[in-house]
Structure 1
Amino acid sequence: MRTSNNKYFIICVLLFTILVLSSCSTTKHLPVGDHLYVGATVKINPDSTGKVEDQKSLKDLLESKTRPQPNKKFLGMPFKLWMYNLAGEPTKNKGIRNWLRNKVGEPPVLASSVRLKLNNDILTSNLISTGYLQAEVIGDTLTKKRKTKAIYIANTGIRYKIDEVKFPEDTTSVNKILQRFKENSLIKRGQFYDLEVFKNERIRIDNDLKENGYFYFNPDYLLIQADSTIGKNLVNIQVIVKPIAPIEALQPYKINKINIYPNYILQRDSIIRSAPPIEYKGLRIIDRRATFKPQVFDRLIFFKPGETYNRKDHNLSLNRIVNVGMFKFVKADFTPIDSLKSNHLDLNFYLTPLKKNSLSFQTTVTNKSNNFVGSEIRINQLFRNVFKGAEQLSISVSGGMETQVGGTQGIKINSTSFSAETKLSFPRFVVPFLKVNSTSAFVPKTNISLAFQTIKKGDFYSMNSIKSEIGYIWKENIYKEHILNPISITYVLPPDTSKQTYKDNIIRFPGLETNLEKVFIIGSNYSFSFNNQLNTERKNNIFFTGTAETAGNLVSLFANTNAAGQKIFAKTPLSKFYRLEVDFRDYFKIRKEITWANRLVMGYGHAFGNSTSLPFVRQFFAGGSNDVRAFPARSIGPGSYNSSTSQFYADQGGDIKLMLNSELRFKIFSIIHGALFADAGNIWLRKEDPTRPGSGFKGSNILKEMAVGGGVGLRIDAQIFVVRFDLAMPFRVPYLPENQRWVIKDIDFGSKVWRKNNLILNIGIGYPF
């Protein structure tokens, strides 16, 4: 019966597809006498037996330069053109037909729009710029069944190489700089002639000059001459400074006075010059209201009077002033004292401060990894420049209601929460008895925070927690960030243990009492992140974060020991553990709108002293909309233990975690994106829990106990937000008998019972990783 249903389903899909395709011929609605343009093919040296270096890449590059580009395809099919033809001509400017034709679809690209001579010139120019100085391109068209294809024959000739690179040898100040740094030249003997390299070489030389005080120099004052008449397909390169370069560009400049206007008003272009300046370490601060302490600007501005101008200090100063978060308008103005008689610049910083106080109100829809969805209201009050040292004080309160939509095992659970947090941030390293300076473009921060949270989950339990941290955040560069909290204190208060409901739940649900223990977590944590996804030109981007946490080691030296041998601090058991976690992600761009994303997560925790397992708030979990999506949130594991037998909502944690995700992401049309994904993972306890058989970690059982699932996804990606729908199904269930864990053979889309028990729709905000 299952086979019959599957066949019926497949036949219906095929019939529907054939019907749609037959009614959506790509050439049916073309203008009379015109043809559908289906793209271009470039043939490189077809009459020659020799091939050029990296011919496939060159062919792809040239084909991408031709215009127009044909209709876009999805999985090899012109989906958008089909939608355009299927919709037909709309009779009004709204409705489904108008939306399909003008938003989803795209009109046919016509052969009459192809300009062969223009494309010939474009392709020839591209070949010449990469060293094929004798290249010639000839294009023609081929038409068959009202479809036209352009064919371009590219005869490249031999690619020219560089024989010699010369820099000016006279003793003028600019040419001395060019000689000093010529070893860093991007143009090397033996390289291919490449116009793009020449452009980058001009930028390199300009940077060298800027670093040595040549403030008014720019790359347009450089000329790179190529002599291709020397024969043997070689060229000589000569770098010269153009004679038209003005005298201001040919001399280095030094910094004279540094003036800072921290209360500049952009609308009135006002500068309060009547206020006497405050002199501080070579800085002249014109601040009649004494809004900021002078030390603030000493940490933000890297120039000193008398120093030679350099671009590095220029950029560092601007970046740090912007990143300190105090100003909405920042301008650095360099003014020559007298360009005819002096080579000195006055440096003026015009800074418009943000409002000292700001109140924000936010309502959000929440979607958490444990399948709780709901809404939250958050109010945040921000005080800037609290102690006149660019500090920020943030006070926020939030409250919300949630309901669990997955992993409930038939029990619907409502959750309410309330939290309050205050955080004081200093724009520098605050280290007792030490002075620590930062020279990066990013301002380091010292944070002191205190937070309180109370959560009530239905009639099962409520939990209160207090957390306080003192720590530092700093960035090495745009890619690397460090977070160090040398002092981190968490105090977890259990529910009211006198209630009968609590006592009943402890009996019914194994492990619940351990999860809700009263505990003190006093320790330190460190996190390192690397993320180069902002570099969109890379074909492959990665994200990595690693965290390490330890608790209870130092404070236990001062803690008391109770009769049971437990370390007690403030009449509360002290948790002792260390915890490690890494999250590595790779994003490989197969094509412009197709990305293959992969993630590996590994976590390990070792508790010692008072307990054999990590405290509940530090445990690892598996399953859910951002995890192994074919299983309800927190329902996987530990190990081969079946949490569904408890009839309690899934909330299983562990000391060890391993998870792998793979997802193929592609654009369908407009803001609609699709995905195919597969997930695998599980958690384990370091030591077996007798009340949860199969929960212990054994190295030989890792692969045997991995949960595996996969599915399809649909995403609405509007750049500023992403709404995600992932439909997943299990492929391997770890808690089934060992020889029955692969369940792919049981897939039966035609069965209502199978769909109800196996298909999980995950609705989320943002991408899963």
Structure 2
Amino acid sequence: MKKLTRPSLFILACLVWAGCSTTKSLKPGQFLYTGAEININPDSSAKIDNQKQVKEDLESKTRPRPNKSFLGIKYKLAIYNLAGEPTKPKGFKNWLRRKGEPPVLMSDVKLKYNNDVLKSYLISEGYLQSVVTGDTVIKGKKGKAIYTANTGARYKINKITFPKDTGNMTRIINANKGKTLLKVGDYYDLDTYKNERIRIDNDLKENGYFYFSPDYLIMQVDSTIGKELVNVTVKVKDIAPDAGLKPYSIKEINIFPNYSLRRDSTLRRMKPLEYNDFNIYDDKKTFKPRLFDRLVFFQKGELYNRKDHNQSLNRMVNIGAFQDVRAEFLPLDSFKNNELNLNIYLTPLKKNSLTFSVTGTSKSNNFVGSEVKITQTTRNLFRGAEQLDVSLSGGFESQIKGTSQGKNSYSFTAEGKLTFPRFIVPFYKPNSTNAFIPKTIASLSYQLLSRGSEYNLSAFKAEFGYNFKENLHKEHTFNPISINFVKPGFPNDSTEKSLYAANPLLRTTLERQFIIGSNYNFTYTNQMEDNRRNNSYFNGSIETGGNVWGLFVPKDEKGQRSIFNVPLTQFVRVEADLRDYYKITKNLIWANRLNLGYGYGYGNSSSLPFVRQFFAGGSNDIRAFPARTLGPGTYKVPTTATFADQGGDIKMMLNTELRFKLVSILYGALFADAGNIWLRKEDKGDPATGNLGRPGSGFKFKNALNEMAVGTGAGLRVDATIFVIRLDVAFPIRKPYLPEGQRWVIDQVSFGDKGWRKDNLIYNIGIGYPF
């Protein structure tokens, strides 16, 4: 009992000391400010709409903010006090004091200022008769501010009046008033009025009013009509300048594709190349003129409009050929007429660049290693903003523990990728007019993987396809041609036979494969919208192999359709990955993922080829099981297996994770993962080759939930925004390979048992979040 009591008393003493230390250094007459308390209509039993949120908003607007705290402990103030007054200009005490936070005092509280701020906020929300009074309460050496808000009734909109149609500008405003954000019956809301001014300004910008501003509009509100109603009148201010009240058209479009400040005067003096509506100032002919047909949406003589302005800028930035993009609109004759000259200044990126990277890897299957990669990038290859990336990489991995401890593998990869900033489609010229640059991508790669004296794999891949963004949220990738050729190699026939005898599953893994097909990928995300309470992400893909070629390729003497004596792989594979991120609070996020996959092999193939199969287990998957060792179904990889990778045709996975901030850039997580993989048809093996099959590997819908693995754990993340380093520790609480009725093992969890920890705890190190 004493062993438990003493640590508890010590912790309690530390907490008491931390609480007391926040006031011990205060001087006589000083009181520590602990925060603000908001009371809304305390004399009324009726609550206002969304009272809890309004209360939180009011509290957040009070100043000053109290000292930061964690679990009720003002840790930064305690650190500040612990450091004390430094006696030297430098040293540990100075460093410690800077890490702390000086006390926030009651004398810093300005009640009248806060009263005015809170009243202004309530008025902006429609409580036009609100009154706020503030007072202070001091107890001991601490104090707080109490603000009482009597809101009165919340006003609603009774009528909206737009300007009379007296000219072109008022005609445009009235023509678009059906899109107004002001609705009869809605509450008075200052933010809505501001957004309505922005909406009208945007309508005018689309019709040539380049110099108009939302500040030139005024919303006159009449609250004297009674019954807590207001009339709103939209007007153009009388003091609006003449330049903002007339539309402007484009006179000249001057493009400087190879611009620099050093050459500014030289470029302006030279004779431009006249191409369509553009005057191109480029004596070095850096880019083909037709490139600008896809980048600049303005035409001579047309009215200025914001849509063309934004799309032009976005395209010039997103094409990836320029390090600086600037568009300048200059009025002719100092606003005396209604014409603008458009000057576009473009500074290209360097034509060639070389990048070098070294990465280290640590995997859940006990492999560690490193890779060196060098990439040569050539931009504007054919003077149309094309980009060629050629990369070479080499790496090694070694298994540091397990049944194959000491086993090494080496890899070499060469890849070339050519990107065209446009669609290249035979006999057709698609016209994309949104803000994002469509891309045509052709790639070719070769990879050699060597497992020392056992075997090696040579993989060739060629792809041709398209990538384009429909809008900010939706992205499509379509590769009509995708060719993969995988060829195994062995030192000699005896090595091959001994490998297959030791592990018959290697026969399907290391077989020659020829995949010719197509693939399509669709991504939707709104994660870039930080103001949303709930964000989502979806990725869906479909891939086919051998479908079209299978119609034309004749069968060989074995009844298989083959190309170059290699059986043509035929399959259809679909996968969906849905994620949801719900912000419970600013620093508490509940993340969930559902991942489903299905593959159907036909013709030459009874299942998906190994390189296209689904896998379970690992740092981004079901973290309580080593990578690629879970499943299929209720099958368990023997501990003596030299090759543990297990693939399947079907995958179901659910992940849930609670993410919370600890301190600074350190975050924590609690998670649970569930799922498994299955073969579409059970692997019954082939006794002639020594393959005993994989009992329980087949998928049956009625048994799927009963064959799910479940794991849970906790993790730490260092989130520095530009990179995330993750450490997770997980353990299984349901093992699908155990007999029915014995699969839940949560009652066997024993962190104090060394043997249990060795057999069950899985450590995962990763870069980035798991999903």
Query: Would you say same fold, with TM above 0.5?
Result: yes
**Of residues 219, 227, 234 in structure 2, which corresponds to 1:232?**
227
Cross-structure match for 1:743: 745
> Where do residues 4-43 of structure 1 align in structure 2 (5 Å cutoff)?
14=8, 17-18=11-12, 20-26=14-20, 27=22, 29-33=24-28, 34-43=30-39
| Matched-pair contact (CA < 8 Å) for 2:400–2:406 | yes
> Where do residues 684-695 of structure 1 align in structure 2 (5 Å cutoff)?
684-690=678-684, 691-695=693-697
> Where do residues 442-521 of structure 1 align in structure 2 (5 Å cutoff)?
442-457=436-451, 459-496=453-490, 498-521=492-515
SS at match of 1:366: strand
> Which range moves more in the overlay, 643-652 or 116-125?
643-652
CA distance in 2, matches of 1:591, 1:676: 16
CA distance in 2, matches of 1:90, 1:571: 82
Structure 1: runs of 5+ lacking an equivalent: 1-6
* Structure 2 CA distance for partners of 1:77 and 1:618, relative to 1, 3 Å: farther
| Residue 545 (1) aligns with residue 543 (2) | no
SS at match of 2:19: coil
* Structure 2 CA distance for partners of 1:741 and 1:109, relative to 1, 3 Å: farther
| Matched-pair contact (CA < 8 Å) for 1:638–1:653 | yes
* Structure 2 CA distance for partners of 1:272 and 1:9, relative to 1, 3 Å: farther
Cross-structure match for 2:687: none
Could you list the per-position Cα deviations for residues 501-553 of structure 1 after superposition, in whole angstroms to 9, with x for gaps in the alignment? 43222222242110111010100000000111111111111111101001101
TM (norm. structure 1) is 0.94
Cross-structure match for 1:420: 414
CA distance in 1, matches of 2:399, 2:93: 38
Superposition deviation, residue 349 in structure 1: 1.1
Cross-structure match for 1:64: 60
SS at match of 2:157: strand
Could you list the per-position Cα deviations for residues 246-281 of structure 1 after superposition, in whole angstroms to 9, with x for gaps in the alignment? 211111111112111111113453452344322222
Cross-structure match for 2:762: 760
* Structure 2 CA distance for partners of 1:649 and 1:62, relative to 1, 3 Å: farther
| Residue 253 (1) aligns with residue 248 (2) | yes
SS at match of 1:188: coil
| Matched-pair contact (CA < 8 Å) for 2:18–2:74 | no
Higher RCO (CA 8 Å, separation ≥ 6 residues): 1
Cross-structure match for 1:150: 145
Superposition deviation, residue 128 in structure 1: 0.9
CA distance in 2, matches of 1:713, 1:132: 46
Cross-structure match for 1:3: none
CA distance in 2, matches of 1:701, 1:193: 57
Could you list the per-position Cα deviations for residues 457-477 of structure 1 after superposition, in whole angstroms to 9, with x for gaps in the alignment? 455532110000000000011
Superposition deviation, residue 149 in structure 1: 3.2
Cross-structure match for 2:690: none
* Structure 2 CA distance for partners of 1:457 and 1:79, relative to 1, 3 Å: farther
| Matched-pair contact (CA < 8 Å) for 2:375–2:390 | yes
* Structure 2 CA distance for partners of 1:72 and 1:657, relative to 1, 3 Å: farther
Superposition deviation, residue 453 in structure 1: 0.8
| Residue 380 (1) aligns with residue 389 (2) | no
Q: CA RMSD in A?
A: 2.5
CA distance in 1, matches of 2:508, 2:95: 56
| Matched-pair contact (CA < 8 Å) for 1:444–1:472 | yes
SS at match of 2:198: helix
Superposition deviation, residue 78 in structure 1: 4.9
**Of residues 36, 39, 46 in structure 1, which corresponds to 2:42?**
46
**Of residues 135, 138, 141 in structure 2, which corresponds to 1:140?**
135
| Residue 265 (1) aligns with residue 265 (2) | no
| Matched-pair contact (CA < 8 Å) for 1:490–1:521 | yes
SS at match of 1:67: coil
CA distance in 1, matches of 2:728, 2:120: 47
| Matched-pair contact (CA < 8 Å) for 1:542–1:585 | yes
SS at match of 1:63: helix
**Of residues 274, 283, 286 in structure 2, which corresponds to 1:291?**
286
Superposition deviation, residue 647 in structure 1: 3.1
SS at match of 1:276: coil
CA distance in 2, matches of 1:218, 1:393: 44
Cross-structure match for 1:570: 564
Cross-structure match for 2:344: 349
Superposition deviation, residue 15 in structure 1: 6.0
CA distance in 2, matches of 1:9, 1:752: 22
> Which range moves more in the overlay, 557-566 or 233-242?
557-566
CA distance in 2, matches of 1:94, 1:373: 43
* Structure 2 CA distance for partners of 1:641 and 1:173, relative to 1, 3 Å: same
Superposition deviation, residue 218 in structure 1: 0.9
Cross-structure match for 2:669: 675
| Matched-pair contact (CA < 8 Å) for 2:18–2:73 | no
CA distance in 1, matches of 2:626, 2:6: 31
Cross-structure match for 2:180: 185
Superposition deviation, residue 649 in structure 1: 4.7
Residue 513 of structure 1 aligns with an amino acid whose one-letter code is: R
| Matched-pair contact (CA < 8 Å) for 1:409–1:650 | no
Identity fraction in percent: 59
Cross-structure match for 1:4: none
Could you list the per-position Cα deviations for residues 218-238 of structure 1 after superposition, in whole angstroms to 9, with x for gaps in the alignment? 111111111112222221111
Superposition deviation, residue 158 in structure 1: 0.8
SS at match of 1:46: coil
Residue 760 of structure 1 aligns with an amino acid whose one-letter code is: I
> Where do residues 100-179 of structure 1 align in structure 2 (5 Å cutoff)?
102-103=98-99, 106-144=101-139, 146-179=141-174
Aligned residues: 761
**Of residues 614, 621, 625 in structure 2, which corresponds to 1:620?**
614
> Which range moves more in the overlay, 321-330 or 114-123?
114-123
> Which range moves more in the overlay, 645-654 or 754-763?
645-654
CA distance in 1, matches of 2:335, 2:180: 33
CA distance in 1, matches of 2:168, 2:398: 72
* Structure 2 CA distance for partners of 1:593 and 1:24, relative to 1, 3 Å: same
SS at match of 2:268: coil
Superposition deviation, residue 721 in structure 1: 1.3
Cross-structure match for 1:706: 708
Cross-structure match for 1:360: 355
Could you list the per-position Cα deviations for residues 372-412 of structure 1 after superposition, in whole angstroms to 9, with x for gaps in the alignment? 44322111111111111111111111111223468x45634
| Residue 718 (1) aligns with residue 720 (2) | yes
* Structure 2 CA distance for partners of 1:405 and 1:51, relative to 1, 3 Å: farther
TM (norm. structure 2) is 0.94
Cross-structure match for 2:298: 303
SS at match of 1:560: coil
* Structure 2 CA distance for partners of 1:90 and 1:573, relative to 1, 3 Å: farther
SS at match of 1:653: coil
Could you list the per-position Cα deviations for residues 125-160 of structure 1 after superposition, in whole angstroms to 9, with x for gaps in the alignment? 110111111111112233445443332211001111
